[in-house]
Structure 1
Amino acid sequence: MLRTGPLARLSASPWTLIAVWALSRLWLVAAALKVPPLAGDGTLDPSVDTVYRGWFGVLASGTFPAHDVSWQYPPGAALPILAPGLLPSLDYGHAFVLTAALTDALVTAGLLWLAMRKGRSLAAAWLWTAALAVLSTMPWNRFDLQVTAVAMAALVVAASSRPWADRAFGALVALGALIKVWPALLLAGTGRGRRTRHSWLSAALTGAVLLAGFALAMPHALSFLTAQKSRGIQIESVGALPFHVARHFGWSGTWKAKDGSHEFVGPYVETVSLVMQCLTVLALGWLLYWRTRRPAPSDGAPWLLPDASLTAVLLFVVTSRVISPQYLVWLVGLAAVCLLGRETSQRPAAWLVLAACVFTTLGFPLLYRGLRDDADPLAIANLFVRDLLLIAAAGLSAVRLWRVGQLGRKEP
C-alpha cells in the first residue's frame, strides 16, 4: 500500500522534488552567502573568505601556494578556486558560493533528466537533494561539489554505448583526479579487457598532458606530491576514535592544528597512523583481487562500475587518516549515480551514507568544539555513531559488490 499511497505518489512527482530542492537551496545558499536575516555577523565561512580567497590571489599571480601548509592538492584544484574570477562584478566569496550552487543545480537537473528519460525512480535525485540539505551550508563552502560533479559525469558517460564512452570516462577521471586525487579510484571498477585498456590509457594520457601543462605554466605545480607525507590522525577519522576515549583515561596526548586540520599528537599516534595506512593498502589490494575474480560477462553490466566506485571510495574514506565533513559529498554523489540503475547492489550502503550525513552535521559544526577541546562525551558518542555508520556502509558495500560480481546479477 505504501507504494501506491499518497506519500509515494508525491515523492514520485518531479515537481515535488524540484520544489523541495528549490526551498532547501533558497534557505541554505542564502545562509552560506550570509544574506539577511541569516547574516549572523556577516562574515562568510573562513574556508572561503580566508583560505580560498588567499589561494585565489596567489594562483591568479601565476604560481601555486607551495609554502601554505593547507595547500595539499593536485594542480587541477586551481580550476574551482579560480572559477569565481569569471564573475568579476562579485566579491570573491559570494562568487565562490554561487559557482558551487550552480554546480549543485546542474547535478540535480542531470539526475532528474536521467531518471525521467530512462523511466526510473527519482531515488538518485532525492538522495542528492536530501543529503546536501542535511549537510547544511558546508557543501557550498567547499570545492568538493565541483570535483564530485566531474566524477559523477564520468560514471554517467561510461554507461553510454557510444564508442568514445570509455575514453571520455578516462579523461574525466583524470580531470577529477587532478582536482582531488580520489576520483582515480573510479578506474577500479572498469570491465576487464578493451574497456580497461581504453579508459586507463585515456586517463593516463589526459592526466600526463594536464599535469605537464600545469607544471610548465605555473611554478610549484607538483608540490602536492610531498604535502601528505606528514599527515597524522585527524580528530574526526576512524583512527581517532580510541584516542577520544583514551583522553578520559589519562592519555597524555592532545590535539594540534597541523597541515590545515586538527590532528592528535602524542603516544601511539604514529602507530595508529601506520596501521591506517596499512589498512588502505589492504583495501586497495582487495579491490585488485576483486578485479581478478570479476567474471567477463559483467562487462555488460553498466551498473557495476558505479557500484565498484562507491565501494572503492568508501574503503578509502574509512581507512584514511583524515575524514573531513566534505568527504560525505563525494559519497553522496557516487551513491546517487548508483541509484540511477535498477540493478545496483548499493542501495543499503547509499541510505547508510545518508544517515551518516546527519551525524556529520551534528559533529561539525554543532558539537565540534566540544569534541576537540573538551572530549565531550556527547560529541564523542556522535562521532562514534557517524564513523560506525561509514564502516558499516563500507563493509556492506564490499560484501554486496563481491556477491554480485560472482553471481553476475543483482543482490537478492
Structure 2
Amino acid sequence: MAESRTAVGESRDAPRPRRPRLGGRAAAWVAFVLVHLALVLLNLFAPGWPLGDVTAVYRVWAETAQLGVVRMGIDTPWVYPILAFAPMTAALAFGSAWYGQAWLVMVSLLDAVAFSLLLGRGTLSRRRRAAAWWWLAFLALLGPIALGRIDAVTVPIAMAGLLWAAGRPRVAAVLLTVATWVKVWPAALVAALLVASRRRFEVVTVAASLSLAIVGVSLLAGSGLNAFGFVAEQAGRGLQVEAPLAVPWLWWIVAGTDEATIAYDRGILTFQVEGPGADVAAALTTPLMLLGVAAVFLVGVRAARRGAAVVALLPPLALAFTTVLMLANKVGSPQFVTWLAAPVVLGIVLGGSRFLTPAALAAAIAVITHVIYPYWYAWLLIADPGFVLLLTLKVVLLGVLLAWSLRAVWQAGSDRRRRTAS
C-alpha cells in the first residue's frame, strides 16, 4: 500500500454525505472545552488533592533549579528522563503561586493541538469524529488524573506521532522520541512503529540521532551519568500498592494477615506493599516486562513479515506494547491509564468499529481508576475489600485488553485480504 503524505486515515476514510450523528467540528470543540474545564476545576477543588504531585513535587523541583540549588537529572539522578524538566519549568512562567493553574492550561493546550490534528482538515470523517468523541469521554471518565501528572504531557505528543505514523514516519519518530525523553512509556510506541512501518530505517535513524542529541546536550550541561539516572531510580523501587503484582498481597491483607502491610516510602513518595515475597516480586517485574515486550515484538514481526499493512498492524501492536508495560510494572500509578488513549484513538481512526472492544475496555478501566483515585484513594491504602476488588477487576481488564490486542496483531498477519480500511 502506498503511504500517504498526510495524517493517517485522512484519504482512506472518506466522509459520507449524510449529516453526522455526533455533530460537526464546532460541537466537538465545545465538548473539548467543557470536558477540560471540568477537569481543571476538579484538579483545583476536588477532594483528595488530585494536583498533589504537580504542586508539591514538580513545583519544588522547578523552583530549586531556578534558584540554582539543584537541577534534577543534571546535578543528581532523577526518576524521569531529562526532558521532563521542560514542562515542569514552563509551568513556572506565571510564578510559583500560579503553578498549578499554569500546568493545567499547558496540558490543555497540548491536548488541543492533538485534538485539532485528530479532527483533521476539510469535512470531518465518521471515524475521526468517533475517535474524537471517544477521547473526550475517556478523559471525562478518567477524571482529574488525566491532566494532573507528567504523563498528561506525553499523551497528546504521542497521539500526534501515531496519527502521522503511516504517512510521515520521520515526523512520528521525532514526536515519539521527544515524548519518550519526557516519560519512558512512549518507547513502546516507537517499538511498534519500528516493527509495523516499511520505512523503519528512517524511524530508527531519527530516533537514535535525536536521542544522542538530547543526551549530548545533557552532558554539556554537566549531567554525566545522571542523564540515565531514571533507569536506576526505577529499578530500585518497591512494589507500589496499585501495581498489578501487588494484588495478591492486598488480598492477603484483606484476609487479616499481620505479615503483609502497606507502608509509605518517603524516599520516592509512594505507598508500597511490604511482606514476604514482595521484594522478590518487585525484582521480577523488570524481567517479566522484558519477556512480555519480547513476546509482543515476535508476534508483531511475524505479522509484518507476512505483509500486514501498517494501518492494520500499528494500532493493535502499539496497544499490546503499552498494555504489557502497564501489567508488568512495579509502580502501576493511576495516571498510567492515560497511555491507553493514544493507541485506542489511532485504532478507531483506522479500524472504526473493529476497535470497539478495546475502546470499551479502556473506558471501563478509566472509570475504575477514577473511582479509586483521587477521591477515595485512602480506602485502597487500608486494603478495603471493595477497593481491592476494583483494583483486581482493573488488572483483569488490562489482561483482557492485552489478549485482544495480541489476537488482533496475529490476525493482521494472517488475513490474506489485508484490508487497510473499510
TM bucket, shorter chain: 0.7 to 0.9
Of 332, 336, 341, which aligns to 1:327?
336
1:270 aligns with 2:279: yes
Once the two structures are TM-superposed, the CA of residue 15 in structure 1 deviates from its matched residue by 4.0
1:20 aligns with 2:31: yes
The answer to whether the 8 Å contact 1:332/1:354 transfers is no
Of 126-135 and 189-198, more deviation after overlay is shown by 189-198
Identity %, equivalent residues: 26
Q: How does 1:247-286 map to 2 (within 5 A)?
A: 247=253, 248-258=255-265, 259-286=268-295
Deviation string for 1:207-258 (max 9, x for gaps)?
A: 0111111222253433223111211211112101111111124250212222
Matched position secondary structure for 2:350: coil
Deviation string for 1:111-167 (max 9, x for gaps)?
A: 22269455535221112101111122222221212111121121122221xxxx222
Of 122, 138, 142, which aligns to 1:135?
142
TM, length-normalised to structure 1: 0.86
Of 205, 209, 219, which aligns to 1:205?
209
Of 146-155 and 273-282, more deviation after overlay is shown by 273-282
TM, length-normalised to structure 2: 0.84
Of 240, 243, 247, which aligns to 2:249?
243
Once the two structures are TM-superposed, the CA of residue 93 in structure 1 deviates from its matched residue by 2.0
The answer to whether the 8 Å contact 1:149/1:333 transfers is yes
Distance in 2 separating the partners of 1:13 and 1:20: 11
Of 73-82 and 140-149, more deviation after overlay is shown by 140-149
Indicate how the Cα distance of structure 1 residues 280 and 396 shifts in structure 2: closer, same or farther if over 3 A, else same. same
Once the two structures are TM-superposed, the CA of residue 368 in structure 1 deviates from its matched residue by 1.7
- Alignment match, 2:347: 338
- Alignment match, 1:51: 57
- Alignment match, 2:176: 173
Distance in 2 separating the partners of 1:240 and 1:407: 38
- Alignment match, 1:5: none
Matched position secondary structure for 1:342: helix
Of 385, 406, 420, which aligns to 1:377?
385
Of 42, 55, 66, which aligns to 1:31?
42
Of 298, 304, 314, which aligns to 1:305?
314
Of 158, 161, 176, which aligns to 2:165?
158
Extract structure 1 runs of 4+ deviating beyond 6 A.
Answer: 67-70
Deviation string for 1:39-92 (max 9, x for gaps)?
A: x79x88221221011011133356533699994111011111112234459722
- Alignment match, 2:86: 79
Distance in 2 separating the partners of 1:180 and 1:115: 34
Q: How does 1:99-138 map to 2 (within 5 A)?
A: 99-113=106-120, 116-118=123-125, 120-138=127-145
Distance in 2 separating the partners of 1:187 and 1:209: 17
- Alignment match, 1:3: none
Of 376-385 and 253-262, more deviation after overlay is shown by 253-262
Of 142-151 and 117-126, more deviation after overlay is shown by 117-126
The answer to whether the 8 Å contact 1:188/1:291 transfers is no
Aligned amino acid, residue 215 of structure 1: L
Deviation string for 1:11-49 (max 9, x for gaps)?
A: 254444333333232222133244xxx7x79x8822122
Distance in 2 separating the partners of 1:68 and 1:317: 30
Deviation string for 1:77-110 (max 9, x for gaps)?
A: 1111112234459722221111112122222222
Deviation string for 1:302-340 (max 9, x for gaps)?
A: 342233111110111111112111111111222112211
Distance in 1 separating the partners of 2:58 and 2:277: 34
Q: Structure 2, unaligned stretches of length 5 or more?
A: 1-18
The answer to whether the 8 Å contact 2:145/2:335 transfers is yes
Aligned amino acid, residue 169 of structure 1: A
- Alignment match, 2:227: 221
Indicate how the Cα distance of structure 1 residues 90 and 337 shifts in structure 2: closer, same or farther if over 3 A, else same. farther
Distance in 1 separating the partners of 2:236 and 2:61: 21
Indicate how the Cα distance of structure 1 residues 67 and 379 shifts in structure 2: closer, same or farther if over 3 A, else same. farther
Distance in 1 separating the partners of 2:43 and 2:75: 25
Of 322-331 and 14-23, more deviation after overlay is shown by 14-23
1:289 aligns with 2:298: yes
Aligned amino acid, residue 200 of structure 1: V
Note the aligned Cα RMSD (angstroms).
3.0
- Alignment match, 2:15: none
Distance in 1 separating the partners of 2:75 and 2:238: 17
Of 297-306 and 146-155, more deviation after overlay is shown by 297-306
